[in-house]
Amino acid sequence: MTLEFINLGIGYEQKTLFCNLNASLKSGDSLAIMGCNGAGKSTLLKTLALRQKPNSGGILFNGNLLKSSDIGYLPQSSNIVSDIGISASEFVKLSLKGKISQTKFENTFAEYDLDKIIDTPLNELSGGQLNRLQMVRIDLQNPQVLLFDEPFAYLDNSSRNILIKKISDWKQLGKIIIVSVHDERLTLEFDHFLTLDGTNAHWEEKMKSHNKDCALAGCALVGS
Amino acid sequence: MAIYDQQLTYAIITIIALIIGATPIGFFLINRKMSLVTDAMGHTILPGAALGAIIGHNSDWAILIGATITGVILFLLAAKMPKIARIGEDTNFAIFYLGALATGLLIADSGHGDVHLDDLLFGNISTISNTTLIFTLVISVVSVIAISIIFKPLLLDTIDKEYSIGLNSTVIARQIFYAILALIGVAAFKAVGTLLAVGIIIGPSAFAIIWAKSIKSQFIVAIIFGIICAIIGTIIGHLFNLKTSALIILLMVISIIISIFIKNNKN
């Protein structure tokens, strides 16, 4: 299993955030995307999540164009309109294709400590429960590439711990994990690092990752 | 007298079909916080309707076709606007609606043909012909089928925009929703006029949201409530020679206001 970035360039109509990134990830690899606010972390994740078109180049998964069924995506912020009259399980089912057995469904909810609220109306859930519900959604989609946009910035402690454990499980299963992070002191170990500075992208392997020179103008990364 | 009764039957069937087709649209408009924007956009059909009335000598087909063409074109243009210009979306819509209203007024008042501006703005039950009836039935059936097809992605996009934005299914669902909204808008315009059209689209859902919990029960309550208001309003209007469109909307609005007060007291 490989995820390849071919001459990838991202940005908006008026602004290019980087161009010509060539790199690849294989089964069980994890990538941390780092950089200041506005450097393009979220834009890159949106591009990888197929929510936005790349400015140039493309993304291949196992040699074919990346499809939405290959990916699971947790956006940076969520603004869920919860008072619309649906339950937690109905919400999750909105983004699932095909049938999933009831046992699998219930077990996954339980893994995120949400087994008691499967049929609870969405507007009765806490913020933390809503966050974990979004993780249940990704889990049940069973994608090969998982994308998390600064998940640790807003998750409460219990959600955070579940996610950290899940990420290591997914790595064991050979899935590719891509996480944008704001802070190097993360509990997670990454295999690759991609640092964005708004005009360039620097790809680094694990061993070189803690060099001081990855600190950028106006945005010193906190060293570990 | 017999012809008059047939008129009443046409009117009631048309409005019932309209309510069934429009209620799911109204549900999404309310939950997507688009009620006011749509109200404004309702007026974009005025220039086409007025032009159709002049060219087609007040024939229903001419009015409906004119209204559909300007409605769909202006609505899709306005929906596209935010990406082109960087002024707020609400201002975009307001500019379109004011321009359309002004153009419609100029055309209707130009002295050509015999345009009943009053009918275009507030509807007229005695002008509901079998043309309007067939048009409304077709649009309502199309609306119900289309919404049931795009229901999942549209609901996901309504609840969780951060997640759904940019997905192919979202893009398609939104485009279909806007197109159906424009068509239902034209059908509603023919029944109750441009100024009250949105009332008949969102009124039933606004009532149902107050009383029903699940989405399914909201749809059922909305449609039953809408049909009751439509029948009572049409019959009272017929008996006392009052403006039917105004009666139906007023019945809905009063019920909604009373419901809000009852709910508020309960909590």
pLDDT confidence tier of residue B222, bands split at 50, 70 and 90 = very high
Return the pLDDT at B83: 57
Higher pLDDT, B55 or B124: B55
Distance in angstroms (rounded) separating the CA atoms of residues B233 and B250 = 9
The model's confidence at residue A104, banded by pLDDT at 50, 70 and 90, is very high
Query: What pLDDT digit, counting tens, does each position of A1-12 carry?
Result: 999 999 999 988
Q: Is A122 on the interface with B (CB under 8 A)?
A: yes
Provide the 8-state DSSP code for A123. G
Lowest mean pLDDT, pick from B33-47, B179-193, B222-236: B33-47
Q: Is A109 on the interface with B (CB under 8 A)?
A: no
How far apart, in whole angstroms, are the C-alpha atoms of residue B11 and residue B227? 12
Cross-chain residue pair A134–B155, CB shorter than 8 Å: no
Whole-number pLDDT of residue A217 = 40
pTM confidence score: 0.88
Taking the Cβ of residue A46 and every Cβ of chain B, the question of whether any pair is shorter than 8 Å is answered with yes
Q: What is the mean pLDDT of residues B123-143?
A: 89
Higher pLDDT, A166 or A223: A166
- Percent of chain B topping pLDDT 90: 52
CA distance A94 to chain B (A): 6
Contacts with B, A 64-93, CB within 8 Å: 68, 73, 75-82, 84-86, 91
Q: Are B214 and A85 within 8 A, CB to CB?
A: yes
User: Poorest-confidence range of A118-132, B121-135, B176-190?
Assistant: B121-135
Q: Which of A17-21, A218-222, B248-252 has the lowest mean pLDDT?
A: A218-222
Q: Calculate mean pLDDT across residues B51-65.
A: 89
Strands A30-35 and A176-180, bridge-based pairing:
parallel
Which chain A residue shows the shortest CA-CA distance from B151?
A94
Give, for A148, the enclosing helix (H) or strand (E).
strand A145-149
Distance between CA B105 and CA A209 in Å, rounded? 68
Mean pLDDT of A192-221: 63
Contact A120, A46 (CB under 8 A): no
Neighbours of A4 (CB within 10 A): 17
pLDDT of B228 reads: 97
Show residues of chain B in contact with A82, CB under 8 Å: 159
The full length of chain A comes to 224
Q: Which of A150-154, B18-22, B54-58 bottoms out in mean pLDDT, i.e. has the lowest?
A: A150-154
B32, closest residue in chain A (CA to CA): A81
A77 contacts on B by Cβ (under 8 Å): 162
Cross-chain CB nearest to B158 (options A52, A81, A95): A81
Whether A118 has its CB under 8 Å from any CB of chain B: the answer is no
Q: What is the pLDDT of residues A35-79, one digit of tens each?
A: 888 889 999 999 999 999 999 999 999 999 999 999 999 998 888
Interface with chain A: mutation pick from B162, B168, B218, highest number of A CBs within 10 Å: B162
Of B163, B168, B215, the CB nearest to A75: B163
Which has the minimum average pLDDT: A25-39, A147-161, B1-15, B216-230? Answer: B1-15
Residue of B nearest to A85 (CA): B214
Average pLDDT (B213-231) is 96
For residue A14, name the pLDDT band (cuts at 50, 70, 90). Answer: confident
Q: What is the pLDDT of residue A218?
A: 39
Average pLDDT over residues B114-141: 87
User: What pLDDT is attached to residue B85?
Assistant: 56
Residue B130 predicted with pLDDT over 50: yes
Distance of alpha carbon B2 from alpha carbon B98, whole angstroms: 42
* pLDDT for position B3: 47
B83 interfacial to chain A (CB closer than 8 Å): no
| Residues of A whose CB is below 8 A from B158 | 81, 84
User: Over 90: is that where the pLDDT of A94 sits?
Assistant: yes
B54 touches B194 (CB < 8 A): no
Q: Which residue intervals of chain B are DSSP H helices?
A: 2-31, 35-41, 46-55, 60-84, 89-108, 117-122, 130-159, 161-164, 168-192, 197-211, 215-240, 244-266
Query: Are the Cβ atoms of B31 and A81 closer than 8 angstroms?
Result: yes
Quick check: B218 contacting A, CB < 8 Å? yes
Q: A13-17, A182-186, B136-140 — which one is most confidently predicted on average?
A: B136-140
Distance between A210 CA and the closest CA of chain B, angstroms: 32
CATH class of the domain defined by B2-266: mainly alpha
Whole-number CA gyration radius for chain A: 18
Q: Is the pLDDT of residue A183 over 80?
A: no
> Which domains are assigned to chain A?
2-79+143-214 (3.40.50.300)
pLDDT of amino acid A178: 95
Q: What is the pLDDT of residue A207?
A: 45
- Chain B residues touching A148 at Cβ < 8 A: none
Q: Which helix (H) or strand (E) holds A73?
A: strand A71-74
Q: Round the average pLDDT of chain B to a whole number and report it.
A: 89
Average pLDDT, rounded, for chain A? 86
Kindly report, residue by residue over B19-36, the tens digit of the pLDDT.
999 999 999 999 998 888
Q: Looking at the complex, does the CB of residue A43 fall below 8 Å from at least one CB of chain B?
A: no
A112-116 mean pLDDT: 93
